[in-house]
Amino acid sequence: MPNLILATTRPGEPEIFHSLQGEGVSIGRPSVFVRLSGCNLRCHWCDTPYTWNFAETGYLHRDDRPEAPAKYDRAENRLIWSAERVADAIRAYDRRNIVVTGGEPLLQQPALAALCALLGPSYRVEIESNGTVPLTTAFSPHVSQLNLSPKLAHSLNGEPDRVKPQVLAGYARDPRAWFKFVIAEVSDIAEVDALAVEIGIAAERILLMPEGITSAALRARMAWLAPSCLARGYRMSDRLHIHLYGDTRGT
């Protein structure tokens, strides 16, 4: 049975935790979170750089937290567990909504399919993904909801890496998929508008979420995001966990 590569809250401790969903259409829902390590993109404002920005890499990252290292030790920030062990950790919380996040979880679909088969159909599984990796036929039946966050130009990923039109078009046809865009500046909204037209994403399935890792930054951006959402029929997402717990692991 395949293993899962997990992120850690501290060395040797997997980032599997019980909290309220902080973003998207399930905001506020009690859930068990499983954070996986590894990503195929390098967003310079990423709030989980410890899942990919390891010491031996040449990646760049803007980190607003002065106490955070410029690079992360791979051995201290990754943990390999069997699907059986992860399933046991999830069951211990006695919650049926599971949020698999990262990093980019869909890079580990064979192991996720094995995990979901162990958990069984009584569990509801949400996947948080950057929208560049299609679902496999083996894993797709296990997924209840797709929280997709396609990256815009301000992420500093190259467009061929961050936008896969055929993959996004497939998700646009999937009723399980929601599209959440991180917005840093007013000009980012026009990029969302253009992508929605190009891909064929219905306005009611689009969410705009402010970029920020402090309550003050989020509120400042939401002030001008709100009228933009009203004008376009987009939803707006807060980042509830930031207000409740700050920018910390395991929350």
- pLDDT for the residue 67: 62
The domain limits of the chain are 3-245
Read off the DSSP letter of residue 85.
H
* Contact by Cβ (8 Å): 198, 165: yes
What is the CATH class of 3-245? alpha beta
Residue 202 pLDDT class (50, 70, 90 cuts): very high
State the DSSP H helix or E strand holding residue 74, giving kind and residue range, or none if neither: helix 74-77
pTM above 0.75? Answer: yes
Would you give the distance in Å from CA 159 to the centre of its chain? 19
49-54 mean pLDDT = 94
> Residue 238: which residues within 8 A CB-CB, separation 6 or more?
22, 23, 27, 209, 210, 218, 222
Residue 16: pLDDT over 60: yes
The tokens of 144 are what? Answer: 């209840």
**What does the pLDDT average to over 11-37?**
97
**Residues 236-250, mean pLDDT to the nearest whole number:** 95
Going by DSSP bridges, is the β-strand pair 16-20/30-35 parallel, antiparallel, or unpaired?
antiparallel
pLDDT at 57: 81
pLDDT tens figures, 56-98: 887 877 765 566 677 899 999 999 999 999 999 999 999 999 9
Residue 140: pLDDT above 80? Answer: yes
pLDDT tens digit sequence for 99-130: 999 999 999 999 999 999 999 999 999 999 99
d(CA 153, CA 188): 8
Of all residues in the chain, the percent with pLDDT exceeding 90 is 91
Per-residue CA distances from 57 to 6, 35, 61, 170, 249 (Å): 19, 21, 11, 32, 22
Strand partners, 147: 128, 178
The predicted pLDDT at position 66 comes to: 62
Average pLDDT score, the chain: 95
Mean pLDDT, to the nearest integer, of 247-251?
92
216 in Cβ contact with 206 (< 8 Å): no
Cβ count within 10 A of residue 124: 17
Dist CA 236 CA 77 (whole Å): 32
Q: Is the pLDDT of residue 228 over 90?
A: yes
Model confidence at 38, pLDDT cuts 50, 70, 90, reads very high
State how far the Cα of 87 lies from the Cα of 119, in Å rounded to an integer.
6
Grade residue 1 by pLDDT with cuts at 50, 70 and 90: confident
Are 168 and 180 spatial neighbours (Cβ–Cβ below 8 Å)?
no
DSSP letter string, 185-231: STHHHHHHHHHHHHHT--GGGEEEEE--SSHHHHHHHHHHHHHHHHH
Distances (CA, A) of 43 to 20, 49, 51, 104, 192: 24, 9, 12, 12, 17
Q: Which residue has the tokens 């919650």?
A: 95
Contact 249, 242 (CB under 8 A): no
